[in-house]
Structure 1
Amino acid sequence: MDMRPEPFVPPAPIPHTRPLSKLGVIRKALRNPLELWGEGSFTLPWIETKFFKERTLIVNDPGLIRHILVENVANYEMSEIRQLVLRPILRDGLLTAEGEVWKRSRKAMAPVFTPRHAKGFAGQMLAKSEEFVEKYAAGSAEGAVHDVSVDMTDLTYALLSETLFSGEIAGDKESVSQDVDDLLHRMGRIDPMDMLRAPPWVPRLTRIGGRRVMEKFRGIVSDTMLQRQTRMREHPADVPQDFLTLLLQLEGPGGLSMAEIEDNILTFIGAGHETTARALAWTLYCVAQSPHVRDQMEKEIDAVLASDAEPVEWLDLMPWVRAAFEEALRLYPPAPSINREAIEDDHWASPDGREVFIDKGVTVLVMPWTLHRHSLYWEKPAAFMPERFLPENRGAINRFQYLPFGAGPRTCIGATFAMQEAVIALAVMMRRYRFDVTPQMDVWPVQKLTTQPRDGMPMRVSARRLQS
């Protein structure tokens, strides 16, 4: 007899059962794109839709996803709408660059994010996480309420700043994280002009307030570059060999231009910490609603930390902590859609004879939001069940049914970095504190560039009573 408690089912929009009107599509796209998707997106291997006579193919079949993102990747470019939203912010950063610019940038940055190199950051991640949790010491005995969504943004910014930039980002450290948040929230959303494919020079009224924030943040990035360049010139023996230095050393013929370097620094300061921050907050929320999962994680954390294992080993030694984070990534993927557009006609046939014809110009959506909750590929797809990612179970998960970091040549370059960062941060926080839901919580996921809680995530933080 199965004595496990019923798993927690966290909140998510209910798929609609009838086609939306054009006005309904526009409203939901502007308010919360996660509410756009109907039942077919969560039950069928692929589904074709039309909006203003433009065809869109929503792809969930792992074989077809592999075909688009790996086997015939050269036939698919970034979709126009995605670029209209992101390029004004990131320009030729790694997330938005294409062609030769992307190839040069990816090759230049790859050495920093190899698994071997990423593991070298573990000690810094541990030290910064321990420094961060001290903020909970005052008031934790009484169970003070903190907005965990904001806290995780601050934590991951501190971790990224220390590891990739040696803590040397220009500007007020207390406000830079908020500047990043403002930039992504004001600029990183769909405008009606994007949906109508208006050219970039047409004003986007929803983003007018974001231009000032963007100019301020680009000023911070420019100052950061100038400060490091001065140090490299005047004190070359005393320059940190970090991500910032590496990029600046690549400036020149055959390397990256100063504008491209600025774009990539902004990309990593902004998007590089935002995604992990959201996933950490969702993890703490789901774990708080799953006492049996929390018990397993706490036992595991206590045992590993008592053994004095080096933090570089924690990712392998804490399978429950890792699994909880990966399950939160499944239910609330920070990047809920991967948007492509067919350059030429394409055709794919499944092993059982099903065929898909993709015409030139069709928008193709590989949707982690729908794929990760799809009834064909997951048991109890809406439930929080970290055990599906434990070592003995994860072999049953197809590589192309779980895409929190994408797939193919444009797989997230910082995936190993993010996984290690998350496990270390969760272990440090949950070793000393418990995070519990509060009566005032009204959690609802919305898509604003990333998948985030609509009104923040107020949680009660209390000191744990550790066993002697």
Structure 2
Amino acid sequence: MDMRPEPFEPPAPEPRTVPPSRLEIIRTILRNPLELWGVPSYTLPWIETRFFREHTLIVNDPGLIRHILVDNARNYRMADVRQLVLRPILRDGLLTAEGAVWKRSRKAVAPIFTPRHSQGFAGQMLRQSERYAEKYAGAGAEGVVFDISTDMTELTFAILADTLFSGEIASSSNFADDVNALLHRMGRVDPMDLLKAPAWVPRLTRIGGRKVLDKFREIVRRTMDMRLERMKAEPDAVPKDLLTLLLEQLGSDGLTSGEIEDNILTFIGAGHETTARALAWTLYCVANCPNVRKDMEAEIDQVLASGAEPVEWLELMPRTRAAFEEGMRLYPPAPSINRAAIEADRWTSPQGEVVDIPQGITVLIMPWTLHRHELYWNRPRAFMPERFLPENRDRIDRFQYLPFGAGPRVCIGATFALQEAVVALAVLMHRFRFDVTAATRPWPVQRLTTQPANGLPMRVSARPGAASSV
């Protein structure tokens, strides 16, 4: 008899069985787009839909995804609705820029995010994780309840500030609250976006976010000014981090001041946010899976006891990495990838099925539905980290799992994020237990990232016999 417990199925909207009305579509998109998708989105390889005048192709087939994001990527630009949401925040940052501007920015930041360079950040990630863990030091065996969603935002910001900006960000003390306010107010689709109204038409849902966005931009400008002054005063002592690298590109042959500001805002405001959300969801899922947690703790304890350097942890902790990757599968930090066809296109599946892609059609690739798709995953709604263990990874198609996207616009910080997550989980879980409480009732909501509505209150307690530091 199989005595293993049933795998945990964390909360998520049930697929719709009845198509919504137009009014219901608008209401759902404004409230939470993750609640919009019906059974076909989780069971069919592709779907064509129309909403008002918008012709959309929803793509789940890994082969078709590869065609759009890699093989014929030049034929697909950013979709209009996506840009109407993101460009008011990030302008010409790396996530929103296109054409020559995007190429300049990508080239400017690429040296920082090579795998070899990213590995050099492991020591700083460890130091900041240990420092942040002291917040829980007084929890004791009884435990204290913390909002883990907020805490992971603070932790990943501390890591980003130290690694990419050498601790020299002119930030405020309530940074996590500012990020939440910015994404809540600015990171949602407005009815004017659905109607493709010009950017100058006011978006009533975002009026409250303008103040916090202005605050973020002021932080960025002060950060740039501080570093420029230091570059002039002591050029030989300036750290060669992302901030310096960007500012060294300032000029007619490189980046404009505005483009540098946009990229810094992108990394400060969004670069850490995706990892923070994934870490919080992972800790929540692990707390509901005692056997998974037990295996992770044993792995973490063994690696730390061996004295291995933190740069090695990503490879030495496959169970910890697998739990994080499964967390990103169920709660992808970026739940949608939006493109539009520049010219008409055609794709033929290995089985001979033909998909005609008209010029101008919106192409929607949804990691949210793709990662929960019944054609590609066994028990797709269940938290099963073993899917991502080394012996099972070959069963996962490269284009059925897209936490970092794919193709030319794949997330430049993917290696950085994976290493950061494993280091943070190892430090926290070596010393503490994270458990759910009666108030832990998260609900996934799409606000640019996949966020837990009402936060993630969890009880943090000291692990018996755990060391006070790594």
Residue in 2 that maps onto 1:448: 447
TM-score, normalised by the number of residues in structure 1: 0.98
Structure 1: distance between partners of 2:237 and 2:466: 45
| 1:14-73 Cα deviation digits (max 9, x unpaired) | 011111100010000000000010000000000111100321111000000000000110
Aligned length: 467
Contact 1:180 1:217 in 2 (8 A): no
Query: Is 2:444–2:453's contact at 8 Å kept on the other side of the alignment?
Result: yes
Q: SS at the partner of 2:434?
A: strand
Aligned residue for 1:34?
Answer: 34
> Which runs of structure 2 are paired with 1:33-432 in the superposition (5 Å)?
33-172=33-172, 174-432=173-431
212-221 or 176-185: bigger deviation: 176-185
Q: After superposition, give the CA deviation of every residue in 1:315-372 in whole Å (9 maximum; x if it has no partner).
A: 0000000000000000000100000011111100001011111101111001000000
Distance 1:201 1:467, change over 3 A: closer
Per the normalisation by structure 2, the TM-score is: 0.98
Secondary structure of the residue that 1:16 maps to in structure 2?
Answer: coil
Aligned sequence identity (%): 71
Distance (whole Å) between structure 2 residues aligned to residue 224 and residue 373 of structure 1 = 41
Verify the 8 A CA contact 2:92 2:262 in the aligned structure 1: yes
Tell me the secondary structure at the aligned position of residue 436 of structure 1: strand
Deviation of 1:467 after TM superposition, in Å, equals: 7.1
Cα distance in 1 for partners of 2:180, 2:422 equals: 23
Q: Deviations over 1:376-401 (max 9, x none)?
A: 00000000000000000001100000
Q: Which amino acid aligns with 1:15?
A: P
Is 2:141–2:464's contact at 8 Å kept on the other side of the alignment?
A: no
Task: Measure the CA separation in 2 of the matches of 1:290 and 1:395.
Answer: 25
Question: Could you report, residue by residue, the CA deviation over 1:60-111 in whole angstroms, capped at 9, with x for unpaired residues?
Answer: 0000000000011011100000000000000000000000000111111111
- State the shift of 1:200 in Å: 0.3
- Local SS of the residue matching 2:329: helix
Letter in 2 for 1:91: R
Secondary structure, aligned partner of 2:174: helix
AA aligned opposite 1:265: I
Q: Within 2, Cα distance between the matches of 1:342 and 1:363?
A: 7
User: Matched residues in 1 for 2:4 and 2:116: separation?
Assistant: 38
Range 138-147 or range 157-166, more displaced: 138-147
Q: 1:161-193, CA deviations, whole angstroms, 9 ceiling, x for partnerless residues? A: 010000100133x22333233222211111111
Equivalent AA in structure 1 for residue 444 of structure 2: P
Are the counterparts in 2 of residues 184 and 270 from structure 1 also a CA contact under 8 Å?
A: no
Q: Letter of the 2:375 partner, please give it.
A: L
Task: Give the match's secondary structure for 1:141.
Answer: coil
**Amino acid paired to 2:75:** N
Contact 1:115/1:416 (<8 A) preserved:
yes
Q: Distance in 1 between matches of 2:296 and 2:182?
A: 35
Partner Cα distance (1:205, 1:443) in 2: 27
> Once the two structures are superposed, what CA deviation does each residue of 1:222-257 show, in whole Å capped at 9, x if it has no partner?
010000000000111221111100000011122111
Distance 1:23 1:384 in 2: 34
- Give the whole-Å Cα distance in 2 for the aligned partners of 1:6 and 1:385: 10
